[in-house]
Amino acid sequence: MAERTVNVGWPEGLHARPASVFVRAAGAVGVPVTIARTGGTPVNAASMLALLGLGAEAGDEVVLASDAEGADSALDRLAKLVGEGLDELPPA
């Protein structure tokens, strides 16, 4: 299983607008991805409700994971999005 650990870069954490950006990006990478706070239970990264339930704040460490083919590239892109607090998914 491929994993990336990253600190949330959005000042408002994974709430409202950043959560919406992340959920769209997670759905767009083409592989199933989970996200969890470090030590927490992984949830579907493409689910807005599940993501908001994490309660991840700015600076919190989260773990992105996937065991699908092509996961490394997808996780790299999502990790950059989260870590840098970007408004859109970086190019492949």
- Provide the pLDDT confidence category of residue 49 given band limits of 50, 70 and 90: very high
What domains sit in the chain, N to C, each tagged with a CATH number? 2-84 (3.30.1340.10)
- Residue 92 has a pLDDT of 77
**Is this structure's pTM higher than 0.85?**
yes
Active-site amino acid positions: 15
| pLDDT for 70 beyond 90 | no
Number of residues that this document lists for the chain: 92
What's the confidence (pLDDT) of residue 10? 97
